[in-house]
Structure 1
Amino acid sequence: MNTNRISLFLIFYVLFNLFQSETIYAAYHDRLTQSMVQGTVTDTEGIPLAGVSIQVESTNRGTITDIDGTFNIQAGPNDALVFSYVGFTPQNIPIDGREVLMVQMEENIAQLGEVVLNAGYYTVSQKERTGNIATIKAETMEKQPVGNPLAAMQGHLSGVDIVQNTGLPGGGFSIEVRGRNSLSGAVDPLFIVDGVPYGSQSLNAARVSSEIIGEGISPLNAINPNDIESIEVLKDADATAIYGSRGANGVVLITTKKGKSGKTRFDARVSTSMSKVSHFLDLMNTQQYLEIRREGVQNDGLGDLLETSDLDLFWPDIKSWDNNRYTDWQEKLIGGTAYRNNAQLSVSGGGEATQFLVSGGYLKETTVFPGDANYRKATLHTNVNHRSDNGKFKINLSTDYAREDNRLPGADFTLQAYSLEPNAPALYDDEGNVNWENNTWDNPMAALEEKFRAKTHTFISNALVSYEVLPELELRTSMGFTSYRLDTYLTNPSSARNPSFGLTPQSYSNLTSNASQRESWIVEPQLNWKKSWEDFSMNVLLGGSLQQENSQQLVVRGRGFPNNGLIENMAAAETLEIVSDMDSEYRYSAVFGRVNLNYVNRYILNLTGRRDGSSRFGPGKQFGNFGAVGLAWIFSEEALFGEKSLLSYGKFRASYGTTGSDNIGDYRYLDTYNVSGESYGGTTILEPTGIFNPEFGWETNRKLEASLELGFFNDRLMVNTSWFRNRSSNQLIGIPLAATTGFSELAGNFDAVVENSGIELDLTSVNIRTEGFRWSTNFNLTVPRNKLVEFEGLESSALSNTYIVGEPLTIVKLYNALGVNPETGLYEFEDYDGDGNISNPGDLQWVEDLAPALYGGLGNTLTMGNITMNVFFQFKKQQSYNTFRFDATPGFRGNIPVELFDRWQQPGDIGPFQRASSGFTSVQDRGYYQERSNAAISDASFLRLRNISIDYKLPTIENGLDINIYLQGQNLWTLTDFKGPDPEQPSSTRLPPLRQLTLGLNFSF
């Protein structure tokens, strides 16, 4: 047996060397007769075209044009060069012995077949796609001064709703692709970076940083937007079913930039930005505030106390503070200017066989808060692409590394900026110390004594290796590895608290640290077979996936430090508590396939299927089957539509299929416990977090879509409309349990169905195209609808106060406000249950939906000579909580919106706000109910100038240096009737998104 193997090996070795020898000789002979051909490629106006693909006909030899349109390629005197570029008519030009070529390409935007989209495991042309794939390219993202890829996508893609959670650097974003599918609240899509799944969930520990950074540090901040070539969002069943169990909420594919053949090229980008809060609330001044406060004391029957010193400690704003003092706390605490400095340098180039790209970036960003808080990020992106001389073997290696260091104060100053009394004392005394004003207030500057720091290290790598076994058969394997480490800590020194409490470092000061890490590897072998006949072509893909992910998190709190100078040294703590200790493993395997059939480039059938296995389910429930069918008919190719038809392109497509979700966390089917952070008799206490239930399995999402794509006037006007309906069943829900059970909830599948439906419209047009001026427009609109179709046993469950069958998942149940009683001066509400009292839940029957009714974006690009201007508007129609969600009763301590000054004062008054109250007695106050009524909801629709950029390209210098100067603005202007901090981020506890202005310079040579 061993002899046979050796013989076979020797035969293979000899044949391989003979083959290689012939190949090398043939290549050597060809090169003896070849010479270097150079030239320049321009459009009809003489403007150089960069990135034009040039290939020697019938060979694998090719290159692309440089930034100035020039190229160099080795070719024989009798060869022909094929020039192709998206939006231009391809040209085939014989060399005829020439060494210099001047090529002029004619614009033809009708080349939809040349627009290639990334569909994950395969690529597809825009013309022949059967699925719904939205895309945003590098040229659009580069126009926006943002640090997170999700920020660059806001408003640009139909069916994709993205909201920024905080204006602080490093903060997160929420993203929904075609609505909320699950009652569990899991809405994040699957993120794939260069073929590698990437976890978007923060490893932040709530007890460490929730007050300052919202939902947590976003892992997507590690991906530099300047390193991204394109982002594709897969939405319907045809596009997502090949990802099976992880495609229910959509798939976001991020493709980073790669090197291109040609001379070595250096590209540099430097920019500086200034940012400020775009909108301040209209609050009361000192006179208005004190008038309301004193009136509230009188209304509560405590007017006599205004003449004594008995309550000076509780009413210093009325009694002891300077009644003529006024401070604009919004200006003081969140009115600063944040600066962002960004620099990036990349080197790229290579020959016909090997191309490379190395890119490094550095960003530093400050905040609008007082103090020296800042965020720093350093990134490194590399890519190497190689193919053998015969083009059979290919390998692509891509790596991304990012290091982030976020240093913020211990608390967000936003709430204090909105609520501090206008006559509050000065922040510092005459000697520059924190002023406690005889211990009568909590000085906001004390938060600067607290420190929050988050350090992250992110590494993403991918290797894609392929070999052409036969002319129609390719074997390839994708291998990826990701590592994400987050280390955060939050200090709470005694010096940050009012001295009246008598706290010392030994009795109070504490440090809480969070050390978290997530590592994942994946291997995906694939076999791709393509075959074409005269009128028919077939593409078959078979593959498998093996993935393992390990996560660890350790949260430790140290208490009792000798002094606050040692508070960052955990070893100096008197006691240590383990707040949380988590170690989990997730394993995933799958087989998948795709069959694509194309008849006469007109009728297309696409079949995809996948079988997944997940360790997140118990035995017998671990595997699930998913699949989809997609159809497309390019009816504009029919004989009915001739060359003179106004309709230049028409396609109808439809798809139906199933995807799933295992996005429920690890070990949910087991009894699970967690360290509580407390102890009993010196023994650490474990608290139950999950109850055993091996019966729950996959959620299933059935997706249906129909779409019509039309092109008019030689595709100068493109209109794409889509209707979709997704139904997610077998819902994984955590049902709250009684405290006597010892468990907080029971996770399981329930007979509940959630439906998301809607219409999407995408429009692009070339309005003007003359020799010196171009104007193009893009527009997208989404009209979504969400509905709980059915939920068996909802009325008797603990969720009956949250959901209603037939209503969206995004509803809130509220009291119905009837205004102010003109005789009593108190708010009144509808008594739904007729018991004579306003109660919860009996009278919480008014329903409002907080999901957007429609959203979209409108962009225009204008080019005149070397100047290009882009203007992009984002719009949304929605309702949201207004400021009265937090303040509905005038007279309480703390500043409030000036609208509340129009309050009831005496019997017979008709006004929108009830009488003032000090909040210091048990006198009836119905502000609590008003804050939970429909009066706290208002229209939050808006039209926002999301981005504007002006780019000027200087004439190319003789040595090949190209310089671009640009000015960019982000969130510059918002048209809205909403009176809260921001219509998209209405919370008064978080910093809203900032207005930014950026000046930058790009140069390459």
Structure 2
Amino acid sequence: MQHSITGMRRGFLLMLLFVFLMSFFSFHVQAGTVLEPPQATVSGTVTDTSGNPLAGVNLVVESKNIGTISDFDGSFSINAGPTDVLIFSMVGFKSLTVPIAGREEVFVQLEEDVTVLGEVVLNAGYYSVSERERTGNIATIKADVMEKQPVANPLGAMQGHLSGVNIVQSTGVPGGGFSIEVRGQNFINGVTDPLYIVDGVPYGSQSLGSEDISRDIVNSDISPLNAINPNDIESIEVLKDADATAIYGSRGANGVVLITTKKGRAGKTRFDAHLSTSLGQVSHFMDLMDTQQYLVVRREGVSNDGLDGFLGVPAYDFYWPDITLWDQNRYTDWQRELIGGTAYRNNAQLSVSGGSERTQFLVSGAFLKETTVFPGDANYKRANVHSNINHRSDNDRFRLNLSTSYSQEDNLLPRSDLSFQAYTLAPNAPALFDEDGNLNWENNTWDNPLAALEEKFGVKTSTVLANALISYELVKDLEVRASMGYTDYSLDSYRTLPSSARNPRFNFTPQSYSSLTTNSSKRNSWIIEPQLQWKKDWKKLSMDVLLGTTFQQETTEQLVMRGTGFPNNSLIFNLTAADRVEVRNSADSDYKYNAVFGRVNLKLLDRYILNLTGRRDGSSRFGPGKQFGNFGAVGLAWIFSEEALLSDSSVLSFGKLRGSYGTTGSDNIGDYQFLDTYTVTGSDYDGVAILSPSGIFNPLFGWEVNKKLEAGLELGFFRDRVFVNASWYRNRSSNQLVGVPLAATTGFSELTGNFDATVENSGIELDFRSANLSTETFKWSTTFNISVPKSKLVRYDGLETSTFANRYVIGEPLSIVKLYRSLGVDPETGQYVIEDYNGDGNISSSGDLEWIEDLAPKFYGGLGNTLNWGNMTFDVFLQFKKQKGYNTLRDNTVPGFRRNAGVELYHDRWREPGDMNTYQVASSGLIAGSNNGDLQRRSSAAVSDASFIRVRNISLNYRVPHLENGLDVNVYLQGQNLWTFTKYKGPDPEQTLNNRLPPLRQLTLGLKVGF
């Protein structure tokens, strides 16, 4: 018994010992899984396969709530253990998992991932949408493309890159403007400007210049968009169809251009400097007559007009000094003399950026100075300051983004564009300066073109743009936010006409001639847009609902004054010294706008998408009962590549059908148009200014309406290495707001009202991109776009009896011109023959202007290729356009006039009966009715093919490798408008007005340094 008890005790003790040992062992085993090995700082660099550093790469320690972001030079550091695993991810690149394996330094290369449609986020204005899931048509251009182009205006960087967007540069003078059409001209009143939104704030694109100053000015179109520095832009999106634009209601009829500026990125504080210098020259000179050719046709013209007997008579030398008084052997290439100089553009920019994961900042400043190709010291200067602060709270519920920019422009140019004189001055015209260095008037026998340098045209503008976006997540999936913006745009311009700028033969004195015209204008606006957004994801269905309202007010002021009769030209800038001061225009306006908008987006099974947008607009530009309009759209998309039948396809990686239909509108008619309006005129009655009636009360007109229909197909092949986006659209604009001219006896120039007129714009757009080759050392990618637009006036009740009968034709585009039909040169008489269309024996505009030419492009687009080889990147972009335009006959049709012209007027002129030539017999132009030159200028002969292929941009960039201390250095060489291949004989096929300087060929050398 005792032995058994002793055995039990022994067993109990052994069991306690076993439990203790197991507990001890278990404790150490568990401690091994809980206690981590000592942490260390792991650092390294992230690059792409070409060795270029990647900034903004997200990296986290697997299975731990630890993460960071790579800096601008690709470097990173993070606390992790030797057995941890790092996960690297970034949009556009494949995610990579890397074990630390005891290393202190980790160097990682990320491979580009071309299948990122779901990660590429597009700015749709009030919301963001991935390229994969968008139902609307949104064209975009990113900073990396814009930075390769040496342009001062954002529109210049967009030329040729976006389908459906036709942009034409109006002049090669610095600070000049651009015309833009998104899918054609929708309205008869000719307003084609889209709505510009900069960081959520509407931005006015219309200049506040005055016709009293800008008439015949070298650069009358001062574009407000010049205030935006292209280097500060992150991306530009153009919204085109109803699904994308209807949420903007009445403001989206002509499309919407969304400009998003750059923001700071998380990482260490970084400094970036950007320096560049550009040389610009006229790319093409016309082939004009030399002195001997010119004098031959001049004398021939005088002889043909029977004026030989007056040659050498002093009283008549005023009419032909070029063949009687001037040196008959002198030759000056006036194109090289007047527009053959070199324009210099120097640009400097410095930015500071950085911040934590929660707060990022960016501050940049830039200065640009650009001269002209004209003689003299005319120049354009611009200074920009841009800042952005982005913050989010620790719980990610509160977000704040503040963006501000300020720009100041100073444009000092000669009053006149010397291009017209360069093309038309007699080649034996006198020297510009006499022996004493003064302007040479050659005994008052000519108007010295450099006299225009005595006349000054100056414009100073300042622009302030500010935006604040605040959001807060009330509960899960429900967010409230507010966007608030303010803009202030002021313009001060002047124009001087001193007596010294006129030929002394007129005996002008400062008291009798000198004048100063000034324009002081200002436009400011504010906008507040509270919004509420709810998002909900279920297993198979997701919903995104947005509701918001807009409050906007804009005020405009303008005062134009003119002073004449100054004691001397040195006092011409002092209005108080003028003998007479008059108010040419004094106006102010107030525009108020209010709207409610909403969006509902439904997505089923990640492949069936429905997008509903709507807006109710209210505008102060319409009378009572007409102030509100309703607009909306529906967009559908089917991602058919997600269907089971195609989901495993090795060829088709993405396929989507989309379509949309909806309405937008327009109130772009100016303020107070429905009221009786009065204008301060330049006249006075006994010293009292006069108010003249300028508008008739008409409260009945309402919104223009643009109905948009679209269908699209998007296809991706071979993991989206080849991607095609094809679109067909048809826009119909009705209820047109038209200013109908009135008879002068009514006392008014026109009456604004709605008319039963419908304009249709339709077309096909194709966008293509491909990753042709991608290896560790070499990459080659291609982009291509083409647009084939069509337009026609579908209906206009009573057109035949209206004042527009000679401008528009049912079934034809609004861009047509009605011309006489030229039948060439009569081989017997040598005169131009114009078809007598109505057979009444007379050639007149009332019945013979029946030849129709359409000056809108038939198709246009661009082709780009990018080659990456190690640290070298080479880009080339071609722009093309099929179109017709006015040729040189628009200005010169008759050889023998006192103006130079194309050499073809010498070689191909009629001389004797039986000749079959293109140009008529020479004439001096002094005998009325001696030729049909004026009719020929307005005939079918004055329009010809102006198609072209232009090397819009070439860029070569080299990144200096392996620099110490994280220094990032890039050197680049860029060329703009380098070559143009065309049969067009004028200065430029895209800008066919010979009285304006064409776009310049530019060569830019630049340096970027970051550290």
TM range (shorter): over 0.9
Aligned: 1:350 with 2:355: yes
Alignment partner, residue 653 of structure 2: 648
More deviation, 96-105/511-520: 96-105
Q: Secondary structure at the match of 1:313?
A: coil
Please report how far the alpha carbon of residue 308 of structure 1 lies from its aligned counterpart in structure 2 after TM superposition. 2.6
More deviation, 70-79/35-44: 70-79
Tell me if the contact between 2:820 and 2:848 (Cα under 8 Å) persists in the aligned partners.
yes
Q: Cα deviations across residues 130-184 of structure 1 (Å, max 9, x unaligned)?
A: 0000000000000000000000000000000000000000110000001000000
Alignment partner, residue 930 of structure 1: 936
The code of the aligned residue for 1:989 comes to N
Tell me which of 545, 556, 559 is aligned to 1:554. 559
RMSD: 2.0
Alignment partner, residue 11 of structure 2: none
Tell me which of 978, 986, 990 is aligned to 2:992. 986
> Percent same amino acid among aligned pairs?
69
Residue segments in structure 1 that go unaligned for 5+ positions in a row: 1-32
Q: 1:101 to 1:804 in 2, by over 3 A?
A: same
Matches within 5 A, 1:872-891: 872-891=877-896
Aligned: 1:608 with 2:607: no
Tell me which of 912, 920, 923 is aligned to 1:914. 920
Aligned: 1:531 with 2:563: no
Tell me if the contact between 2:366 and 2:384 (Cα under 8 Å) persists in the aligned partners.
yes
Aligned: 1:831 with 2:823: no
Tell me how far apart the structure 1 counterparts of residues 967 and 469 of structure 2 sit (CA, whole Å). Answer: 34
Tell me how far apart the structure 1 counterparts of residues 672 and 429 of structure 2 sit (CA, whole Å). Answer: 51
Matches within 5 A, 1:629-708: 629-708=634-713
Please report how far the alpha carbon of residue 39 of structure 1 lies from its aligned counterpart in structure 2 after TM superposition. 3.3
Tell me which of 253, 257, 260 is aligned to 1:252. 257
Alignment partner, residue 166 of structure 2: 161
Please report how far the alpha carbon of residue 291 of structure 1 lies from its aligned counterpart in structure 2 after TM superposition. 1.1
Tell me if the contact between 1:171 and 1:213 (Cα under 8 Å) persists in the aligned partners.
no
**Structure of higher CA gyration radius:** 2
Tell me if the contact between 1:531 and 1:538 (Cα under 8 Å) persists in the aligned partners.
yes
Tell me which of 732, 740, 757 is aligned to 1:727. 732
Tell me how far apart the structure 2 counterparts of residues 467 and 96 of structure 1 sit (CA, whole Å). Answer: 42
Matches within 5 A, 1:32-431: 38-44=43-49, 47-54=52-59, 63-73=68-78, 83-91=88-96, 101-431=106-436
Alignment partner, residue 905 of structure 1: 911
Alignment partner, residue 996 of structure 1: 1002
Tell me if the contact between 1:513 and 1:555 (Cα under 8 Å) persists in the aligned partners.
yes
Q: 1:834 to 1:85 in 2, by over 3 A?
A: same
Tell me which of 894, 912, 919 is aligned to 2:899. 894
Q: Cα deviations across residues 508-563 of structure 1 (Å, max 9, x unaligned)?
A: 10000010110000000011111101111110001110000000111100111111
Please report how far the alpha carbon of residue 67 of structure 1 lies from its aligned counterpart in structure 2 after TM superposition. 3.2
Tell me how far apart the structure 2 counterparts of residues 686 and 76 of structure 1 sit (CA, whole Å). Answer: 83
Q: Cα deviations across residues 348-392 of structure 1 (Å, max 9, x unaligned)?
A: 000121110000000000000000001110100000111111111
Q: Secondary structure at the match of 1:212?
A: coil
Tell me if the contact between 1:64 and 1:260 (Cα under 8 Å) persists in the aligned partners.
no
Q: Secondary structure at the match of 2:209?
A: coil
Please report how far the alpha carbon of residue 103 of structure 1 lies from its aligned counterpart in structure 2 after TM superposition. 3.8
Tell me if the contact between 1:68 and 1:956 (Cα under 8 Å) persists in the aligned partners.
no
Tell me how far apart the structure 1 counterparts of residues 721 and 663 of structure 2 sit (CA, whole Å). Answer: 36
Q: Secondary structure at the match of 1:113?
A: coil
Tell me which of 794, 800, 820 is aligned to 2:799. 794
More deviation, 810-819/666-675: 666-675
Alignment partner, residue 590 of structure 1: 595
Please report how far the alpha carbon of residue 923 of structure 1 lies from its aligned counterpart in structure 2 after TM superposition. 4.3
Residue segments in structure 2 that go unaligned for 5+ positions in a row: 1-37
Q: 1:543 to 1:260 in 2, by over 3 A?
A: same
Tell me if the contact between 2:50 and 2:871 (Cα under 8 Å) persists in the aligned partners.
no
Q: 1:612 to 1:923 in 2, by over 3 A?
A: closer
Please report how far the alpha carbon of residue 769 of structure 1 lies from its aligned counterpart in structure 2 after TM superposition. 1.1
The code of the aligned residue for 2:914 comes to G
Aligned: 1:975 with 2:1003: no
Q: Number of matched residues?
A: 976
Please report how far the alpha carbon of residue 907 of structure 1 lies from its aligned counterpart in structure 2 after TM superposition. 1.5
Tell me if the contact between 2:51 and 2:870 (Cα under 8 Å) persists in the aligned partners.
no
Q: 1:522 to 1:97 in 2, by over 3 A?
A: farther
Q: 1:915 to 1:796 in 2, by over 3 A?
A: same
Alignment partner, residue 473 of structure 1: 478
Q: 1:92 to 1:518 in 2, by over 3 A?
A: farther
Tell me which of 961, 981, 992 is aligned to 1:955. 961
Please report how far the alpha carbon of residue 246 of structure 1 lies from its aligned counterpart in structure 2 after TM superposition. 0.3
Q: 1:682 to 1:68 in 2, by over 3 A?
A: closer
Please report how far the alpha carbon of residue 93 of structure 1 lies from its aligned counterpart in structure 2 after TM superposition. 6.3
The code of the aligned residue for 1:360 comes to G
Please report how far the alpha carbon of residue 739 of structure 1 lies from its aligned counterpart in structure 2 after TM superposition. 0.3
Alignment partner, residue 966 of structure 1: 972
Please report how far the alpha carbon of residue 407 of structure 1 lies from its aligned counterpart in structure 2 after TM superposition. 0.6
Tell me how far apart the structure 2 counterparts of residues 744 and 391 of structure 1 sit (CA, whole Å). Answer: 59
Please report how far the alpha carbon of residue 48 of structure 1 lies from its aligned counterpart in structure 2 after TM superposition. 3.4
Q: 1:205 to 1:36 in 2, by over 3 A?
A: farther
Tell me how far apart the structure 1 counterparts of residues 597 and 929 of structure 2 sit (CA, whole Å). Answer: 67
Please report how far the alpha carbon of residue 908 of structure 1 lies from its aligned counterpart in structure 2 after TM superposition. 1.5
Tell me which of 806, 824, 827 is aligned to 1:819. 824
Q: 1:440 to 1:707 in 2, by over 3 A?
A: same
Please report how far the alpha carbon of residue 95 of structure 1 lies from its aligned counterpart in structure 2 after TM superposition. 7.7
Q: 1:648 to 1:325 in 2, by over 3 A?
A: same
Tell me if the contact between 1:723 and 1:759 (Cα under 8 Å) persists in the aligned partners.
yes
Matches within 5 A, 1:844-855: 844-855=849-860
Tell me if the contact between 2:472 and 2:480 (Cα under 8 Å) persists in the aligned partners.
yes
TM-score by length of 2: 0.94
Matches within 5 A, 1:412-561: 412-561=417-566
Q: 1:37 to 1:199 in 2, by over 3 A?
A: farther
Q: 1:700 to 1:92 in 2, by over 3 A?
A: farther
Please report how far the alpha carbon of residue 600 of structure 1 lies from its aligned counterpart in structure 2 after TM superposition. 1.3
Tell me how far apart the structure 1 counterparts of residues 822 and 696 of structure 2 sit (CA, whole Å). Answer: 41
Tell me if the contact between 2:471 and 2:482 (Cα under 8 Å) persists in the aligned partners.
yes
Please report how far the alpha carbon of residue 590 of structure 1 lies from its aligned counterpart in structure 2 after TM superposition. 0.5
Q: 1:923 to 1:791 in 2, by over 3 A?
A: closer
Tell me if the contact between 2:173 and 2:219 (Cα under 8 Å) persists in the aligned partners.
no
More deviation, 822-831/480-489: 822-831
Tell me if the contact between 1:312 and 1:319 (Cα under 8 Å) persists in the aligned partners.
yes
Please report how far the alpha carbon of residue 98 of structure 1 lies from its aligned counterpart in structure 2 after TM superposition. 7.9
